[in-house]
A and B are shown apart, each in its own frame.
Chain A
């Protein structure tokens, strides 16, 4: 069970859009529509932002959207704001009834 692959860092200016990728295999991301995304600010617990590839929990801004193509899932944040600066983690259900996380991506708002 290997971790999903995310870029270590991404950056963007306020108002811009950014996309964070999350690459797995056919045994996890590619095999199931059960990818989630979490936002984590320093010293805080993670917060669920997207579940089941593209669904937003109640209260999460519609600036956050998710998608998937093959073995790669993506999180897009539009209209970047300073408060979006945080670490982002993807997670996927994987075969043999397990969960796997990505290594995390640090988003910097310039």
Chain B
């Protein structure tokens, strides 16, 4: 069974870059039929998809965040990462990483395993 764990700073200053890493255990990040995604949830609010990546580096991003988001993968460490630039207080949220398993053409498959989430606060 896959396990995912987010890690990174819990406090980021406005205008700086938020950086998080998701470590995958229980299976290889390089397996076919898996994408790996980031989702966030502001306190007391709903879920928002940020973006997803395949082990080859192929990515999909939420158009509303695309200009500020970079998702990358390190297969040697079984990790994938999120960078969100020029953050503001509106980026304060619990950030989740999750696996997406599937086989259909859409690639953006359901999120079947989730990390526990990590709260990132944007404040000076």
* A-to-B contact residues, CB < 8 Å: 1, 3, 32, 34, 36, 38, 45-48, 51-52, 57, 89, 91, 93, 96-104
Q: What is the size category of the interface that chain B forms with chain A?
A: 20 to 34
> Which of B62, B110, B112, B117 contacts A98 (CB under 8 A)?
B62
A-B contacts, 16 of them at CB < 8 A, read A1-B63, A3-B46, A38-B47, A45-B117, A46-B96, A46-B111, A48-B110, A48-B111, A91-B47, A91-B49, A97-B60, A98-B63, A99-B62, A101-B46, A101-B47, A103-B46
Give the CA-CA distance A43 to B6 in the complex, in Å: 15
Name the distance in Å between A92's Cβ and chain B's nearest Cβ.
10
* B-to-A contact residues, CB < 8 Å: 46-49, 52, 60, 62-64, 96, 104, 106-112, 114-117
Name the distance in Å between B67's Cβ and chain A's nearest Cβ.
14
Q: A45-B117, A46-B47, A99-B49 are in contact. Are A93 and B106 (CB under 8 A)?
A: yes
Could you tell me if B106 and A101 are in contact, using CB atoms closer than 8 angstroms?
Answer: no
Could you tell me if A45 and B114 are in contact, using CB atoms closer than 8 angstroms?
Answer: yes
From A89, which residue of chain B is reached at the shortest CB distance? B47
B residues near A98, Cβ cutoff 8 Å: 49, 60, 62-63, 108
Nearest 7 interchain pairs by C-beta: A45-B114, A51-B110, A99-B49, A36-B110, A104-B46, A101-B47, A103-B46
Q: A100-B49, A101-B49 are in contact. Are A57 and B60 (CB under 8 A)?
A: no
B residues near A1, Cβ cutoff 8 Å: 62-64
Give the CA-CA distance A89 to B40 in the complex, in Å: 13
A residues near B104, Cβ cutoff 8 Å: 34
A residues near B106, Cβ cutoff 8 Å: 32, 34, 93, 97
Give the CA-CA distance A63 to B37 in the complex, in Å: 28
Could you tell me if B115 and A91 are in contact, using CB atoms closer than 8 angstroms?
Answer: no
Name the distance in Å between A100's Cβ and chain B's nearest Cβ.
7
B residues near A100, Cβ cutoff 8 Å: 49
Give the CA-CA distance A102 to B41 in the complex, in Å: 12
Could you tell me if B110 and A104 are in contact, using CB atoms closer than 8 angstroms?
Answer: no
Given contacts A98-B49, A98-B108, 8 further A-B contacts (CB under 8 A): A3-B46, A45-B96, A45-B114, A46-B96, A48-B110, A100-B49, A102-B46, A103-B46
